[in-house]
């Protein structure tokens, strides 16, 4: 990332996210992603560049008036905790979720300290319904893995409680929880009612496990009509599904711009 070449583009917005990162720093390191701490450093750098573009006074106003969106946690569980004996043999899922919540709270406090005041945070998705999760942990079942979904519900409950506490303790903070769990769960369990034909297999490749660079123009068996699939790959919803989810998230996050 070379923020210095962006200049005026920062006035339109910026994305500091990194695929396969999470609240838990070791998750990012495991997949050579950019951890939250480093994303925060990139954000600090962008603030300094913004001062040069818009001036100090305007920058302060832009920062406090901007909307910040955070989405993390799935990789921490599915791509780290559930497959890492160094974690699941030491911590219960409940204990691990506590660790993630502590990381989340610290990140929000740091972001607040840098001037952020309007923050939207997505809940954990129904990770037990991801095609890859069913393949890895479903024991030959084609149904959502209840244990994983229960962990997500438990995490989301803590996320809600912690977010409310942060909002009360940090003056001027507007912290809104954006529920992605229920909308995506509805798409997976009732695909035909939502205009989809397939929710177990993803569009890419076998539809059971592939993700990221494994989904490309040369992938064998990629579906002809991705808009009929809830999932594009083993971990991520399709563009059509994301359009449905985005509508729900915009409705939930309208208070961020009011």
Domain ranges of the chain: 3-256
Residue 146's alpha-carbon distances to 39, 176, 185, 224, in angstroms, are: 33, 27, 12, 31
User: What pLDDT is stored for residue 1 in this prediction?
Assistant: 46
Is pLDDT above 60 for 5? Answer: no
Is pLDDT above 60 for 2? Answer: no
DSSP string for residues in 106-165 = HHHHHHHHTT--EEEEEPPP-GGGSHHHHHHHSTT--S--HHHHHHHHHHHHHHHHHHHH
Give the HSE-up count for residue 141: Cα atoms under 13 Å, Cβ half-sphere.
Answer: 12
State the average pLDDT over residues 124-131: 96
User: What pLDDT is stored for residue 94 in this prediction?
Assistant: 98
State the average pLDDT over residues 33-40: 97
CA 133 from centre of chain = 16
Residues with Cβ within 8 Å of 23's Cβ and at least 6 positions away in sequence, in order, are 36, 72, 73, 76, 100, 101, 103, 104, 107
The tokens describing 109, both together, are 């406090």
Is pLDDT above 80 for 39? Answer: yes
Is pLDDT above 60 for 258? Answer: yes
Q: Which one has a higher pLDDT value, 98 or 1?
A: 98
Express each pLDDT in 65-96 by its tens digit: 999 999 999 999 999 999 999 999 999 999 99
Rounded to two decimals, the pTM is 0.92
Q: Which one has a higher pLDDT value, 190 or 252?
A: 190
Looking at the domain covering 3-256, what would its CATH class be? alpha beta
State the average pLDDT over residues 54-58: 91
CA gap 63, 118 in Å, rounded: 9
């Amino acid at each position: 990332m070379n923020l210095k070449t962006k200049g005026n583009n920062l006035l339109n917005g910026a994305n500091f996210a990194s695929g396969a990162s999470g609240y838990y720093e070791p998750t990012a390191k495991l997949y050579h992603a950019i951890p939250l701490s480093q994303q925060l450093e990139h954000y600090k750098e962008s603030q300094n560049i913004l001062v040069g573009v818009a001036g100090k006074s305007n920058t302060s106003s832009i920062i406090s008036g901007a909307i910040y969106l955070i989405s993390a946690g799935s990789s921490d569980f599915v791509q780290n905790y559930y497959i890492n004996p160094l974690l699941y043999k030491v911590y219960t899922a409940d204990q691990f979720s506590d660790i993630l919540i502590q990381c989340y709270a610290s990140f929000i406090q740091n972001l607040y300290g840098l001037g952020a005041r309007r923050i939207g945070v997505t809940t954990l998705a129904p990770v037990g319904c991801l095609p890859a999760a069913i393949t890895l942990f479903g024991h030959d079942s084609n149904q959502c893995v209840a244990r994983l979904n229960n962990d997500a519900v438990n995490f989301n409950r803590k996320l809600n409680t912690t977010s409310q506490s942060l909002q009360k303790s940090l003056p001027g903070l507007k912290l809104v929880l954006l529920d992605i769990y229920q909308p995506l769960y509805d798409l997976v369990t009732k695909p035909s009612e939502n205009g989809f034909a397939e929710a177990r297999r993803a569009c890419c490749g076998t539809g059971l496990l592939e993700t990221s660079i494994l989904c490309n123009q040369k992938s064998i068996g990629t579906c002809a009509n991705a808009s009929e699939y809830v999932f594009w790959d083993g971990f991520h919803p399709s563009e059509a599904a994301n359009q449905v989810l985005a509508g729900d998230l915009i409705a939930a996050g309208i208070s961020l711009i009011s």
